[in-house]
Chains A and B, each alone.
Chain A
Amino acid sequence: MKRSAIPVLRQVLPNGVVLLISPNSKIPIAHVNVVVRCGTADNPPHRSGLASLMARMLDEGTSRYTHQQIAQIIENLGGSLGTFSSRELSGVSVMVLSKDLLQGFELAHAVATDPSFPEERLKVEREKVLNQIRSTADNPQIVASNEFNRIVYQHHPVGEPILGELESIGEVTTSELREFHARTFASDNTIVAVVGDVDPEVCSAWLAEKFSAWQTPDQRPTEYPELKRLSQKVKREITLPKEQVNIYLGHLGVTRSDPDYYALQVMDVVLGGGPGFTSRIPAKLRDQQGLAYATYSDISGTAGIFPGRFAAFISTSPRNRDVAVEGLLHEIKLLVEEGITDQELSDAQSYLTGSFVFDFQSNGHVARFLLSAEIFGLGFDYLDRYPEIIGEISKRDVNRVARDHLDAENYAMVVAGPV
């Protein structure tokens, strides 16, 4: 299906800040995102969670506004302001009614570029994070996933839990937060994406004026530790008094720039990431064997600046554990050894090219697209080209990437639950 390209005004300021503005007047709301290329991957040794704690502190005070003033301005308008940090991106997201856009800009700019990291606010935020870490430890799927990442990413910080660990967070100081912000929140490392009911010219004039004064060079390392796939099986069990075992099985995945990315998207639809129970893993393990409510696999979904992970997941009763693990491994092996059918290829292609348009409905969707288009150089005409890219993938391509990127011998497996 043809869809008109998303209108985008792109501008690069002399200090490197990239502005991306996409108008859409359907509802009188605007979203402003200031996004910086840094995250968990940039945590120093023994400081897992630093990026996340820094991001949480962004709206806890700037040199111009106290944390209370920030909350008052945004909440009185009925808007919202959130800060975030993930594996490789961090930043600020603001939602305001479009008539309040300028206040939205002002706050997003202040919070992203000029946070003050007050000592007394760190005390409050730190306690909140510590308790959140404790709380997530009650979720067996997260416990299993965190352990799986530790094995897959070995000592690379990108594999650390985003929130961090009790020990590492307990010791963080405001000077570490300041240093981390200064090192990573750099003008030449920042993208400002504005989507919604806005006038692009007015936005661009205001943002250019506001952000041009910000001059901070990117001081992140140019090289990160190398990531390698496991060369042996690593199995780990975590005993938790639960009803189900949560099982992750897999290994290191690929980056978004990997030339095999699109063929892997097709492969994902066939193996474990398609809609409903059309993919092999949910069709067999859930629909035909009744082993689980939740089971899937995916490699392309986590591909980013850093390699993602190939993970097959199932949560099931302990008595099903062996059948479930064998089932997952069997499907992976079968795909590697025998490949996919013509029908599977064409179904997956139809699905990907048809459902793609759903990813561009909301302002949030469009903002996410603009950011990945900018970061990965997809081009803003990506929507028009995507069906062709997917259409050109052949069965041979998919079978080759399955062989190259899946390994049913050397993998990590974590089982958390009553083991």
Chain B
Amino acid sequence: MDRKELREKSADKTAAAAAEVVPVSFTPEPVFKQRLANGLKVLIKEDHTNPIVTSMIWYRVGARNEKPGITGVSHFLEHMMFKGTDQYERGMIDIITMVNGGSNNAFTSNDYTAYYFSFASDRWLHALDIEANRMRRNDFVLEEFQLEKQVIIEELKMDLDSPWGMLRREVESRAFQAHPYRFPVIGRLEDLRRLNLQQMRRFYDAYYRPNNATLVVVGDVEERDAMSQIRRRFEKIEPAAIPHPRIPDEPRQERQRRVLIHMPSNVTRMMVTFRSPAVTSADIYAISLIDKILSEGKLCRLYQRLVEQEQLVSFVSAEFSESIDPHLFYVRAELNPGVDPKRVEEVLFQELARLQRELVSNDELQRARNQLSAQYLAGFETTMDQAIQYGIFETIASHQLLEQYMAHIQRVTAAEIQRTAQKYFPKRKSTIGFVVA
């Protein structure tokens, strides 16, 4: 391309601003998958861009597996997994990570608990050694348990000091009446205070098994070699029957529910939720697009209407993420001073009604597809990004869902968007909460 061509190309393209179809020329390299005889699922993805390996282990356990009395145990257990094992003294996991120039951490959600290590590729096997050992041989020392309980109570208090944290806790506990998604991942304060070491030990024994886990390795490894290293360490770990307590079905919601929290604050905050589809539902693609149509960038509907035209709020966003069982689609906003919360609510429901009444234009739909495509690509940038994406999808459904995701997105039609909005966004199915001063 010479400069003149460049200039013309740039001028033309910039003037022609309609959303074009973006050909997605990028398909992720297929990931290698194997299941060991003990049930451990292994995903390996070679990526030799940098001499780095990220390895993550995912347990299919989280707040979803909890019940009143032991809420918060999954997350608390995640903390305890750094407190020593029969092979690694307390503190050693962090020290090994440090002296090998690595990084580690962990996180817990409703559906999973995940642990990660990133190391240079010449020393990444430390990660396998540690994960293989602590899957069954974690130490549970009473004194450590009591100390860590205080740390977690402080973590919970940070949440209570945040208006958004409070609102989320309260809205989620109202939006669900039977399903354990009503519990905060960090737990209820009264449960945390009472939780004992035996309860945690039982929980660990029940869920920390190879047949309830997925090991994801992404980075500068050779597939066959990585697989044999994994076999050597994990193969001998005994599987066990994983409890599948019946998780109560959440009854259909037929009336709007409301939450009002009074808390000293300078801004009124609103959170509105609707039940979202489970990851196995074909509706997740239309819902993901609706999320973009409502709240991505500045052209999106909620920003245009609430921030620009009516100047009712200074911030608005919609959020959806995949979950094993139907969870929540969230809309959040921060209200401008003096604005009547009823008016914001009214406008929000008008916009949701418009989605149910009118077909979205081709331009708007294509824009949303393009935005999702670009974000999808960005999810393959680092070894960590990839390990997280593969891990989540394999744990809650299948990694193939991730690989086929964009193809599904490209096929969603305006009529499907409309039907999906009609199905998920009736007012009576909403839970609406405000935090006010």
Contacts and interface: CB of A to CB of B under 8 A. Distances in A.
A307 B363 CA distance: 49
B202 interface: no
B377 A29 contact: yes
Nearest to B150: A290
Given A102-B13, A209-B3, A362-B382, A134 B337 contact: yes
Interface string A93-132: 0011100101101110000000000000000100110111
Contacts of B152: 293
Interface stretch (A44-52, A84-92, A224-232, A281-289): A281-289
A127 to B, nearest CB: 6
Contact of B299 (A72, A106, A107, A292): A72
Nearest to B6: A206
Given A124-B311, A135-B267, A354-B100, A29 B367 contact: no
B94 A124 contact: no
B3 A205 contact: yes
A124 B312 CA distance: 11
Contacts of B243: none
Contact of A275 (B18, B51, B103, B381): B103
Interface string B1-20: 10100110111011001111
B10 A317 contact: no
Contacts of A346: 99
Contact of B13 (A67, A103, A351): A103
Contacts of B307: 124, 128
A363 B266 CA distance: 37
Contacts of B11: 106
- Identify the interface centre among A96, A132, A276: most chain B CB within 10 Å of its CB: A276
Contacts of A293: 151-152, 154-155, 158
A418 B17 CA distance: 54
B315 A132 contact: yes
Interface residues of B, number: 86
B122 A128 contact: no
Interface residues of A, number: 83
A347 B299 contact: no
A71 B297 contact: yes
Contacts of B380: 26-27
A76 B20 contact: yes
Given A76-B17, A357-B52, A347 B99 contact: yes
Nearest to B23: A99
Contact of B383 (A77, A205, A315, A361): A361
A236 B308 CA distance: 40
Interface stretch (B128-136, B159-167, B226-234): B159-167
B404 interface: no
A75 B336 CA distance: 26
Interface string A303-334: 00000000000011100000000000000000
A78 B371 contact: yes
A202 B9 CA distance: 13
Interface in B271-317: 296-299, 307-308, 311, 314-315
A75 B367 contact: yes
Interface in A20-48: 24, 26-29
A138 B265 contact: yes
Q: Among A102, A107, A241, A278, which residue has the most Cβ atoms of chain B within 10 A?
A: A102
B245 interface: no
Interface in B112-127: 118-120, 122
A290 B52 CA distance: 34
Contacts of A77: 19, 22, 370, 374
A95 B297 CA distance: 13
B381 A354 contact: no
B10 A131 contact: no
A73 B299 CA distance: 11
B93 interface: yes
A350 B99 contact: yes
Nearest to A355: B101
B6 A102 contact: yes
B101 A353 contact: yes
A356 B101 contact: yes
B118 A358 contact: yes
B193 to A, nearest CB: 13
B148 interface: yes
Nearest to B298: A71
B314 A278 contact: no
Contacts of B373: 78, 97
Nearest to A29: B377
B370 A275 contact: no
B98 A275 contact: yes
A134 B339 CA distance: 14
B315 A131 contact: yes
B367 A78 contact: yes
Nearest to B118: A358
Interface string B310-354: 010011000000000000000000101100000000000000000
B299 A294 contact: no
A376 interface: no
Contact of B98 (A1, A27, A351): A351
B51 A3 contact: yes
A54 interface: no
Nearest to A70: B298
A241 B94 CA distance: 36
Contacts of B100: 350, 354
Contacts of B155: 293-294
A255 interface: no
A131 to B, nearest CB: 3
B266 A103 contact: no
Question: Among the interface residues B11, B370, B373, B380, which one has the most CB atoms of the partner chain A within 10 A?
Answer: B370
Interface in A203-252: 205-206, 209, 240-244
A277 interface: yes
A79 interface: yes
A14 to B, nearest CB: 17
A317 B154 contact: yes
B97 interface: yes
B184 interface: no
A164 interface: no
16 contacts: A3-B50, A80-B297, A102-B6, A132-B315, A138-B267, A206-B6, A275-B104, A276-B94, A276-B105, A277-B91, A287-B91, A290-B148, A347-B95, A347-B99, A354-B120, A361-B52
A-B pairs with lowest CB-CB distance, top 7: A354-B101, A78-B370, A276-B94, A290-B150, A131-B314, A293-B155, A102-B10
Interface of A: 1, 3, 24, 26-29, 67-69, 71-80, 95-97, 100, 102-103, 105-107, 124, 127-128, 130-132, 134-135, 137-140, 202, 205-206, 209, 240-244, 274-278, 283, 286-294, 315-317, 346-347, 350-358, 360-363
Given A243-B161, A360-B50, 4 more contacts: A68-B299, A78-B371, A78-B374, A209-B3
